[in-house]
């Protein structure tokens, strides 16, 4: 296992560092850092403002509603923490490519290969286009809706990537069998049960109590396919499973 000092690092650039730190210190994300499998750096973009009010936004040239994040604080925040000139710098934006399992594994590879992954949390109406041109290498959206800021999308990406690092999950088969994975053919996972065998008149399917693992695996595969067909049929029509 790597030590904390030489672990790959995810860097989140934000206007709300306390919000980001709180989540990254919690649950599996926090455990991964404590175990030395990943490090986090949270950079306050306001530290790169140039006035006593720590201003990072202004009105848009040409008018229009909403404030725009200035290029200078964003660009200099990235440059302050970037180790490699070819580091992946992600901007969270509704205009980006949609985040999914395949993209999670791409970012995992980039984190492993380059040792760092930088996520810039967008805010307000957007950021100055020159910041995109100067430092952003990839734009990612978590869905077709708009949030107040990019902190939640950044944390979603970080969580999805970190749980895929070797050793973070006690049982790697758990992640490999999740919805959208190659094991599931890009489709949904099956239903799961635990104790007791009967609850309020609802019983665990008999096959799961049989101890016959081949039959259990077959049942789970069939149920996963059925659930995918019922709930997300487009995944069967256009499968895009993540790579192993």
Residue-level pLDDT, tens digit, the chain, 244 residues: 445 678 999 999 999 999 999 999 999 999 999 999 999 999 999 999 999 999 999 999 999 999 999 999 999 999 999 999 999 999 999 999 999 999 999 999 999 999 999 999 999 889 999 999 999 999 999 999 999 999 999 999 999 999 999 989 865 565 555 666 665 578 999 999 999 999 999 999 999 999 999 999 999 999 999 999 999 999 888 765 554 3
Secondary structure of the chain as H, E, C letters: CCCHHHCCEEEEEECCHHHHHHHHCCHHHHHHHHCCCCEEEEEEHHHHCCCCCCCCEEECCCCCCCEEECHHHHHHHHHHHCCCCCCEEEEEEEEEEECCHHHHHHHHHHHHHHCEEEEECCECCEECHHHHHHHCCEEEECCCCCCCECHHHHHHHHHHHHCCCCCCCCCHHHHHCCCCCHHHCCCCCCCCCCCCCEECCEECCHHHHCCCHHHHHHHHHHHHHHHHHHHCCHHHHCCCCCCC
Domain ranges across the chain: 4-162, 177-237
Closest CA to 96 of 63, 152, 136: 136
User: Quick check: do 4-162 and 177-237 share a fold?
Assistant: no
- Write down the residue that tokens 């789970």 correspond to: 220
Check whether domain 4-162 has CATH 3.40.50.620, yes or no? no
pTM of the model: 0.86
Which is the CATH superfamily of the domain at 177-237?
tRNA(m1g37)methyltransferase, domain 2 (1.10.1270.20)
b/e string for 63-92 if b means 16 or more Cβ within 10 A? eeeeebbbbebbbbbbeebeeeeebbbbbb
């Amino acid at each position: 296992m790597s030590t904390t000092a030489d672990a790959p690092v995810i860097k989140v650039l934000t206007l709300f560092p306390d919000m980001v730190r709180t989540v990254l210190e919690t649950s599996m994300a926090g455990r991964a850092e404590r175990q030395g499998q990943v490090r986090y750096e949270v950079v306050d973009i306001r530290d790169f403002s140039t006035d006593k009010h720590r201003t990072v936004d202004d009105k848009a040239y040409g008018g229009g509603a909403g404030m725009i994040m200035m290029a200078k604080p964003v660009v200099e925040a990235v440059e302050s923490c970037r180790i490699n000139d070819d580091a992946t710098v992600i901007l969270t934006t509704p205009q980006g490519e949609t985040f999914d399992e395949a993209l999670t594994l791409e970012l995992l590879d980039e984190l492993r290969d380059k040792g760092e992954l930088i996520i810039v949390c967008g805010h307000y109406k957007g950021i100055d286009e020159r910041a995109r041109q100067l430092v952003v290498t990839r734009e990612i959206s978590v869905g077709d809706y708009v949030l107040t800021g990019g902190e939640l999308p950044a944390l979603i990406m970080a969580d999805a990537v970190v749980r895929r690092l070797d050793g973070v999950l006690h049982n790697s088969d758990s992640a490999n069998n999740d919805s959208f994975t190659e094991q599931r053919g890009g489709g949904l996972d099956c239903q799961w049960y635990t104790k007791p065998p009967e609850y309020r008149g609802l019983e665990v399917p008999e096959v799961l109590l049989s101890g016959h693992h081949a039959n259990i695996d077959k049942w789970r595969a069939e149920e996963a396919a059925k659930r995918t067909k019922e709930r997300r049929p487009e995944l069967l029509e256009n499968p895009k499973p993540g790579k192993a």
